Amino acid sequence: MRKITLPHIAEKHRKGERIAMVTAYDSTMASIVDEAGIDMILVGDSLGMVIQGHDTTIPVKLDEVIYHTSCVARGTKSALVMADLPFMSYQASRTQAMLAGGRALKEGMADAVKIEGGLEMAETVRMMTSAGIPVMAHIGLKPQSIRVMGTYKIHGKSLDDAKKLLEEAKAFEEAGAFSLLLEGVAVETATEITNSVSIPTVGISSGPGCSGQVLVIYDLLGFNPSFNPKFLKVYANGRGFIADAVKDYISEVKSGEFPSEQHSFHRK
C-alpha cells in the first residue's frame, strides 16, 4: 500500500479519476477508512460538533486539531492526511497562518492543511505554499463565518455570487493551492469552477460536477439519524448496529453469560 502524496492526487485528477475524501478524527477510524482505500482523510474542525458536541465549529482550538490529526496520522498508512485549521488560528496575519500550518505538519504529522476564505486569503496561501505548506482552499459555505452568515445556505445561486466564487477559485489556484473544497455551492457554479481551474475540486453539498467528494464519516455511517440534509447519502445504519451490539452485551452481562470460560483466566 503506497503513501498517497500531492503528486498522486494531481495525477489522479489528470487521469479523470474522482477523488474520495472523508473526515475522521481518531486512529481507529482512520485505519478502517485507510484500509478501505480512501484517497484523503480530512481532520475537520467539524470535530467541534461531531466529537465535542458544540453547535458550531467556532470553539475548536488549534491544539485540538493537531492532537486529532496526529491520532489520524498514526492510524493511516496510505491516505493523504489533511488538517483543517480552525477559526482564528490563521486569519490574524500571514505569519500566524504560517506558524499554524507549520505546527499541523510538524506536530500533527499532516500532509497538508485546509483554510477557509476568499480573495483576502490568496496571498496567505501563496506564502504558505512557498514555505512548503500544501494548502487546500475552502470556498462557498464557510462554517467558520457562521456568525456573519447567520445561517447555512447554498452559495453561487446568483450570477454575481457565481462570478465572485469563480474569481476566488482562480485566485487560489494562482496562489498555489493544490485543491479547492467547494461547500454548499450551486451545482452549475461548482461545475463551472471545476471546469475553469486545473486543480481538483472536492465538493460537499455542491453536486456531482466536482472532481471529488467529501463526507463526514459519522454522517455516511448513519450515526446521527436526526441529521439528514439533502446532500447526505447514508451508507449504513451505524447507530442501530452499535446500539444492538451494546444491548446484547448488557443482556449477557446481566444474565451472567459474559464473560464465559473462554474469556477467563485461571491461577496455576
Q: CA-to-CA distance for 181 and 218, rounded, in angstroms? A: 19
Q: Extract the C-alpha cell encoding 160.
A: 454575481
User: CB-side exposure of 141: number of CA atoms within 13 Å?
Assistant: 17
77/4 Cα distance (integer angstroms): 9
Catalytic residue numbers read: 183
Among candidate residues 174, 169, 114, 188, the one with its CA nearest the CA of residue 144: 114
Q: CA-based Rg of the chain, rounded to a whole angstrom?
A: 20
